[in-house]
Amino acid sequence: MKALLIDDHALFRAGLSGLLERRGIEVVASVGSGEEGIGTLETLSPDIILLDLRMPEKSGLDVLDALPTEQSDVPVVILTTSADENDLANALRRGARGYLMKDMEPDDLVVALQEIKAGKTVVAPGLTGVLADLVKNDGRQPSKREREILGHLAEGQSNKVIARHLEISDGTVKLHVKAILRKLEVHSRVEAAVMAVEHGIRRRVDRQQN
């Protein structure tokens, strides 16, 4: 397997390059910016790209958006310190095939890279539930969970209150709210709440609670 590393921290790149090389993965290039990484793709043909999320000038998400069409089949793995669910959602929606943490065990990283190269989508263990929700909610109609959240929005509840009621994280609620706004083609949670009331979603939730 041939890997391209894109990360603005030189020491991390050096350490990761050595780690991968010792495990039989050839590092064809190790660069410090998104621009360099995109430029490198013109002359190299990596099997997989390991991409940092937070970088100056061009972030990992920007790199995903800017990848040449002819490189669209090369799997991109976000390797980051961010466990933020919105970062995960944005990365996957832009085509990342993996979302892994920089503090994971080296052997686990290698196994994950092999699975991603084989065609799987792999995310950090603590974020697998969010991945499942993203897959289920990819359609245009609100899912059962999103309809639940719509009912709470119709009652004017905050993300924190909704999260407590549904026993999920604030970040997960925020992710669902964004999906709801996109699917309903509205721009605010107030508009979404009005639509929920108009379609009786609030009343159905009230009956379930009584």
Q: Does the pLDDT at position 72 exceed 70?
A: no
Q: Give the global pTM.
A: 0.64
Q: Which tens digits make up the pLDDT trace of 166-188?
A: 888 777 788 888 878 877 878 88
For residue 205, name the pLDDT band (cuts at 50, 70, 90).
very low
What is the spatial distance between Cα 76 and Cα 54, in angstroms, rounded to a whole number?
15
pLDDT of residue 91: 87
DSSP line for 117-172: HTT--EE-GGGHHHHHHHHHT-SSS--HHHHHHHHHHHTT--HHHHHHHHT--HHH
Q: How far apart are CA 127 and CA 66, in angstroms?
A: 25
Q: What is the pLDDT of residues 3-35, one digit of tens each?
A: 999 999 999 999 999 999 999 999 999 999 999
Q: Which domains does the chain have, with CATH numbers?
A: 2-126 (3.40.50.2300), 137-209 (1.10.10.10)
